[in-house]
Amino acid sequence: MLDKNDIAKRIAREVKDGFYVNLGIGIPTLVANYIPKDLDVVLQSENGLLGMGPFPFAGEEDADTINAGKQTITMLPGSAIFDSAMSFGMIRAKKVNLTILGAMEVSENGDIANWKIPGKMVKGMGGAMDLVASAENIIVAMQHVNKAGESKLLPQCTLPLTGVGCVKKIVTELAVLDVLPEGGFKLLERAPGVSIEEIIAATAGKLIIDGDVPEMVI
């Protein structure tokens, strides 16, 4: 199985040269550490920053320079800082090529629930609803099962939805999966040492397996 950094490393392989990328809170923020140096990629933070770099080393943090999750970050040469109105103008105008988000649940038709568990205190939905409504390419970084061992890849989401039919790809500790337009999770890759049977057992939604499924390269 993959750990959180391995999931981020695998997702970093989906980032293409010239992309503007928004990283959500949680595992997605780790992707900033693993983008290949030879790619010209601009990371956008919804709190008002273009040009986010890797996390700072210990002792080099600047408390005034943070991402949307309030983690201290670095800024690359040529970075720009602006207000949240400008930031969400970029998002709503579809200027972001790729959005990487965490999720509590994803359904087999690409619905995502990632902002609220009924009965639990939350700070708010943040920018997730704007991102999923505007982005054309959404990759979800998530755990395949919850703490109780129950699948988070479902026929239908049980939690309040953030967006409908918007997720294109999912990377978990077990697998890489595409969400097909006609519905269903297509298994593309499995984590090193993870069997197809383990993935089947951990997936409640419709799982499509077509031929041999290779182990993912991290």
Q: What is the pLDDT of residues 146-170, one digit of tens each?
A: 999 999 999 999 999 999 999 999 9
Q: What is the pLDDT of residues 188-211, one digit of tens each?
A: 999 999 999 999 999 999 999 999
Burial 132-161 (b: 16+ CB within 10 A, else e): bebbebbbbbbbbbeeeeeebbbeebebeb
Q: What percent of the chain has pLDDT over 90?
A: 83
> How confident is the model at residue 202, as a pLDDT?
98
Q: Mean pLDDT over residues 171-181, rounded?
A: 97
> How confident is the model at residue 68, as a pLDDT?
82
In sequence order, the β-bridge partners of residue 113 are 105
The answer to whether residue 122 scores a pLDDT higher than 70 is no
Q: Mean pLDDT over residues 81-87, rounded?
A: 94
**Given 14, 46, 136, 189, which residue is catalytic?**
46
> How confident is the model at residue 79, as a pLDDT?
96
> How confident is the model at residue 121, as a pLDDT?
67
46 catalytic per annotation: yes
Q: Mean pLDDT over residues 19-39, rounded?
A: 92
> How confident is the model at residue 123, as a pLDDT?
64
Name the residue with tokens 């005034």: 64
Q: 3-state DSSP call for residue 216?
A: coil
Sheet containing 105-107: give its strands across.
112-113, 105-107, 153-154
